[in-house]
Amino acid sequence: MKALPAVLWFVVLCAPAWGAVDGERLRKLGFLVQEGFEEAPAFTTVDAAGNKVTSEDYRGKVVLLNFWATWCPPCRLEMPDMERLYQEFRERGLEVVAVNFMETAEEVKTFAEEQKLTYPMLLDPRSEIAGQYGVMRLPETVLIGREGQVLGKSIGFKAWYKDDVRELMAAMLGNGTALAAVPAGGVAETEPADNYDWVYLAGAIVLVIGVCLASRCRRGRGDAGC
């Protein structure tokens, strides 16, 4: 019985952290949330500079794992907001990780420089990481908790620097108050369109083809051409 007060204190102290990733709160922000959290698939790849990167490198951080391509207009539009979010919260444990879909390192580096993006740019030349995370169109962003669990997924364009998202990040990172807004970062070339269905359809077709080719490669049916 003497241990009971300590247990109660543990529950009280940890309650804000648990509430920060409440499924209903994430749904209100537009995330798709499964019943019960699951372990995020592990991966190993390289970044645009050729450095080896693994999913374990981000363990202990809150991660926005963003799947994108340079030819995807909604991807290009949301990335400056992601940069601002990254600049505000990186020192408190947020990592924005962009996983590029089947493009070259040079294409990715050039785009990041033009857009003034500083967060990590990873390569997925065979769409293997996209396949692991069940990505079917671009952009898609997976929210991963500090313990490596998938908390939710955002599909399509999202305004990532809105106050409600900033407040969520502040709560998840251990402080319920967002800081002063970060000045606009990156370069958005066009305004968000009312309907990007044609882009999503084209992206979905490309993704399905890419995932199918990657699957064939993994089964050894065409290693010479992979």
Which residue type is seen at 171?
A
Tokens standing for residue 153: 């997924």
Q: What share of residues in the chain are helix, strand, coil (percent, to 5)?
A: 45, 20, 40
Dist. CA 70–CA 84, nearest whole Å: 19
Residues 6+ apart with CB under 8 A from 108: 48, 70, 100, 121, 123
**Other Cβ atoms closer than 10 A to 17:** 14
Question: Catalytic pick from 14, 72, 75, 226?
Answer: 75
Which residue type is seen at 3?
A
Instruction: Determine the 3-state secondary structure of 54 from DSSP.
Output: strand
Is 75 designated active site?
yes
Catalytic residues: 75
